[in-house]
């Protein structure tokens, strides 16, 4: 979690610099993530075995801690966002058949421990198209930096596959404020291409307990993956997102 603490420290420093000039918000989500499907084949051809991590192996815990931090800087109708989320999940089990993964061979019956890591960093720009007291709508774009890794260990074999890349996404925000302290809203990023897809969608509420402090609660979905020559990998996670917004 050192990367998370360093990021929060840097954002707080940036907030002190910018807060006098415009609108700055810091959001902290100590999220709980529940995984669904998580499939991988490496390489993505007949030399690799298509493996379901929760199906062919099994999760070591039903839910994992997956913290998220967001920074938003607004000037008039222009909104710039930075976000980071960190997901770690462990799997264990025995190979029911030979598993070819990233040039390593795990024989039938091998005891296998697997680590799935999926960290993402997002830089977004959205323009507020509608800015009414009770309704807001923003559209824009996101650059997603994906820093992912799958590691498998078992019976004198160990292999790690790293997947680092930048993906462009479409970004949106829609909010409804029935009363001054309460906002019902949804925001997210997503895009589909022949090489894969990515979606990060949130729907929830914000309640302002203080002019500078809001409580956030809702549901988040992160789904996507890659289907390229080097790897096939797709995963789906459901998040219970409860957090804190600090307005500088």
The continuous run of DSSP H or E covering 43 comes out as none
Residue 86: what pLDDT?
96
Residues ≥6 apart with Cβ < 8 Å to 23: 72, 73, 74, 75, 247
Q: How far apart are CA 67 and CA 12, in angstroms?
A: 17
Render pLDDT for 71-120 as a digit per residue (tens, 0 to 9). Answer: 999 999 999 999 999 999 999 999 999 999 999 999 999 999 999 999 99
Tokens of 33: 């993530």
Q: CA-CA distances (angstroms) from residue 225 to 129, 132, 155, 244?
A: 30, 37, 29, 29
Tokens of 205: 């509420």
CB half-sphere exposure, 123, CA atoms < 13 A? 4
Q: Which residues of the chain have pLDDT under 70?
A: 1-22
What stretches of 19-164 show up as alpha helix (H) in DSSP? 53-56
Residues ≥6 apart with Cβ < 8 Å to 36: 54, 235, 236, 237, 238
Render pLDDT for 37-50 as a digit per residue (tens, 0 to 9). Answer: 999 999 999 999 99
Backbone angles phi, psi at 130, to 5 degrees: -125, 125
Backbone angles phi, psi at 56, to 5 degrees: -80, -30
């Amino acid at each position: 979690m050192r990367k998370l603490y360093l990021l929060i420290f840097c954002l707080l420093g940036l907030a002190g610099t910018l807060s006098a000039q415009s609108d700055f918000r810091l959001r902290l989500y100590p999220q709980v993530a529940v995984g669904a499907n998580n499939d991988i084949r490496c390489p993505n051809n007949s030399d690799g075995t298509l493996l379901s991590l929760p199906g062919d192996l099994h999760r070591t815990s039903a839910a994992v801690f997956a913290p998220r931090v967001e920074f938003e800087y607004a000037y008039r109708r222009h909104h710039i966002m930075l976000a980071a989320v960190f997901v770690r999940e462990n799997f264990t089990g025995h190979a029911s058949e030979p598993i070819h993964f990233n040039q390593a061979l795990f024989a039938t019956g091998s005891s296998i421990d697997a680590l799935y890591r999926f960290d993402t960093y997002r830089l977004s720009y959205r323009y507020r198209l509608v800015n009414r007291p009770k309704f807001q709508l923003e559209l824009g774009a996101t650059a997603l930096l994906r820093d992912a890794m799958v590691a498998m260990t078992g019976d004198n074999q160990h292999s790690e596959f790293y997947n680092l890349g930048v993906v462009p996404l479409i970004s949106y925000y829609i909010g409804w404020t029935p009363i001054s302290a309460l906002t019902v809203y949804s925001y997210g990023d997503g895009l589909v291409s022949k090489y894969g897809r990515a979606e990060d969608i949130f729907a929830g509420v914000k309640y302002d307990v203080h002019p500078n402090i809001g409580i956030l609660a809702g549901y988040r979905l992160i789904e996507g993956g890659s289907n390229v020559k080097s790897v096939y990998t797709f995963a789906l996670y459901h998040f219970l997102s409860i957090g804190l917004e600090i307005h500088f």
